[in-house]
Each structure stands twice: as structure tokens, then as C-alpha cells.
Structure 1
Amino acid sequence: MEVSVFGKQIDIGEALRTHVELSLVGGVAKYFDRPGRAQVTFSREGAGFRCDCSVHFDAGILLQSTGEASDIHASFEAAAGRMEKRVRRYKRRLKNHHKNRQSSEKIMTAPTYVIAAEQEEEDEPQTLQPIIIAETTTDVTTLTVGEAVMQMDLAEAPALVFRSSVHGGINFVYRRLDGNIGWVDLKP
């Protein structure tokens, strides 16, 4: 597995880098034969540290976790612990993720936009349109609703767009403010 360790305005020592690489490779190898690549980013968060871990598996699954602590090593351990807990929870489903899939299924590519949040202003703005600050493309895979919820949970994403394996239409699932999952089915 290729592991990249970065620090945002923090000098990452060789001992921490080695510890992160060994821990991630050892923790992920228990569950996956062919792990892809990982990225770990450390940053200052107030008086403590924050660790963001992101692992991209060859099967197309993205797993993300975050840990915060007063010590940089403890922040990584918190993030790695959360990641391993979620992988353990979905272990059986992750191993069987692509067994029932046909290899000829097409993955659709769709644009992704990040829109700037509105600022509190007294005056009425010139245009009522929000400003788009980022535009990327993302793959829209064919999934069941259960698989989509699993991938959204593993990626710690607020929402996930996917193509329904039942009827082929575009669907999306999202995390509601009350903690439950919402599902929108756009039938063709």
C-alpha cells in the first residue's frame, strides 16, 4: 500500500511517518488483500492536533476518518481506531462488495460543485446566485441502497449520488440533521 503522510504547518518526523505507515498497512491488511493508497494529514487544531486519514481501495471504496487529541500520536491513534472499527463493522459486506457485480457495468462520470456559503450582509446582493468555488468530476457507480449507505458511512460523507441497481435511475442518500439517513429515488 502506498501511504502519504503530510503535515499542515507541522514538521512530521521520521518516527511518526514510520508508525503511521506500519499501523495503516497492518490494520488494513487484515481486511483487504489489495489495498490501494492512503493519505494521512496532520494539522493543528486549537491547542491540540487533528489527523485526517483517507484510504482509497482498489475495489472503488473510499474510507475516511478523523481523530483529535492533545498529542499528535494520539490523534492518529484515534483516527486509525475509528477507521478500523468501521471496517470491522462492514467487514463481510466489504469482502463481498463486487462478487455479485458484472464486470461490464459502466460507471458514469458526473460533475461535482462546491458552492461558497452565503455571507451575512445587510444589503441585498447584486445577484441571488451563490458563487461556485470549485468544480470537479466524480464517478457515479451502480449500487444498492444498502451499499450506498455503507459507502457514505465509510467515507464520512454527508451525501452520496449513485445509480440504482434495481432500475438504473439516479438516486442519492444523505445524512439528515436528526442522524437518520434520507433516500431520494429519481425513477426514470
Structure 2
Amino acid sequence: MQLTVKGKQLDVGDALRTHVAENLNTIVGRYFTKPMEATVVFSRDAHLFKADIQVRVGRGIVLQSVAEATEPYPSFDTACEKLHKRLRRYKDRLRGHHTAENGGEELIPARYQVIEAEPEHHDEPVPEKAAPIVIADMTTHIDTLTVSEAVMRMELAEAPALMFRNRANGGLNMVYRRVDGNVGWVDPALEKAGA
């Protein structure tokens, strides 16, 4: 596995790099034989250290975890433990994913944009017709998944939402994390069938 350990305004020493490599290889190695790459970014905000772990284990599967603590080692260990708990929860489905990855189905290319959020407090009035500022314009692929597989991938990546092609009906669907902590599912095909 290709491992990158970075520090944002923080010096990451060899001892911390070794600690990260040993722990990630142990945890991820239990579930995946050939993980592709991992990136761990340490940053400091006032008195707290933040560890952000991102592991790409296969096409379409990204594991992500973030934790904060007063020292870098505990922040990484906490993030690693969160990642390990999610891997244990989905271990059977992840092992089955290796044998049926993509199932020969075509990926759909998609384009998405990141738009700057409006500030909460405005000193000056903002014209209603002002165009939003596009921060990033990227492409990605939309996988064909079942609803449960989409929820699993969204939770493993700690993503707020995931768009996918529903394997049952071929339509575009989305799962998302609701404010109350539950998972919501948007299926336009169900709307058409009910109408």
C-alpha cells in the first residue's frame, strides 16, 4: 500500500510515520489483501490535533475517518479505531465485494461542482441575481449499486451523501445522512410509480 503522511503547519516525525504505517497496515490488511493507497493528514487547531485518514481500497471504495485530541498519537488512534469499527460492521459485504466488483456493469461518468457557501452575516446587501462562485469543477463515476451497498459506501467514506445507479431499476438514486442521524433515500422511480 502506498502511504502518504503529511502535516499541515506541523512537523511529522519518523516515529509518528512508523506508528501510522504499522497501525493502518494491520487494520486494513485484515479486510483487504491489496489496498491501493492511504493518506493521513495531521493538522493543529489551537490546542487540538486533528488526524484525517483516507484509504482507497478498490475502485469506488474509500474509507475515511477523522478525529481530534490534545496530542497527535491519540488523535490518529481514535480515527483508526472509528475506521476499524466500520470495517468490522461491513466485513462480510466487503469480502463479497471483491468477488463481484462492478459485475461487468458500465460506469456512468458524472460532473460535479463545489460552490462557495454564502456567509451567514452580510455587511452589504447581496444582489439576488448574483451568480454563485464555483470553487471546484470535477468529474467522477457513478457506480451501479444496491441501496444497502450505497449506504455502506457512504458510511465508510463518512460522506454526507452518495449518488448511485440503482441496480434494481437502473435509475439514479441518492442516499444521504439526515440531520437526525438516520439515512434518507431519494428514488425518483418510486415517485413516478406512485403517480
Shorter chain as denominator, the TM-score bin is over 0.9
Q: Which one has the bigger helix percentage?
A: 2
Q: Sort the Cα spacing of 1:19 and 1:36 in 2 relative to 1 into closer, same or farther, 3 A.
A: same
Residue 173 of structure 2 corresponds to 171
Secondary structure of the 1:162 match is strand
Alpha-carbon distance between aligned partners in 2 of 1:129 and 1:34, rounded to the nearest angstrom: 45
Q: Which residue of 1 aligns with 2:20?
A: 20
| Structure 1 residue runs without a partner (length 5+) | none
What secondary structure does 1:75 align onto?
helix
The worse-fitting range, judged by mean Cα deviation, of 89-98 and 116-125 is 116-125
Following superposition, the deviation at residue 88 of structure 1 comes to 0.7
C-alpha separation between the residues in 2 aligned to 1:103 and 1:151? 17
Q: Which residue of 1 aligns with 2:152?
A: 150
Shift of 1:59: 4.4
Task: Return the alpha-carbon distance in structure 1 between the equivalents of residues 102 and 109 of structure 2.
Answer: 18
Counterpart in the other structure of 2:74: 74
The normalised TM-score by structure 2 is: 0.91
Runs of 4+ in structure 1 deviating by more than 3 angstroms, as ranges, are: 98-103
Hey, what does 2:62 align to over in structure 1? 62
Indicate conservation of the 8 Å contact 2:109/2:141, yes or no: yes
Structure 2 partner of 1:162: 164
Query: Which residue identity lines up with residue 29 of structure 1 in the other structure?
Result: G
**Following the alignment from structure 1 to structure 2, what is the Cα–Cα distance between the partners of residues 20 and 50?**
14
Q: Report deviation, 1:127.
A: 2.3
Q: Is the 8 A contact 1:144 1:166 kept in 2?
A: yes
In structure 2, the residue matched to 1:48 is 48
Percentage of identical aligned residues:
49
C-alpha separation in 2, matches of 1:67 and 1:20: 14
Residue 130 of structure 1, aligned match among 111, 121, 132: 132
Alpha-carbon RMSD across the aligned residues, in angstroms, is 1.6
Unaligned runs of 5+ in 2: none
Q: Does 1:38 align with 2:38?
A: yes
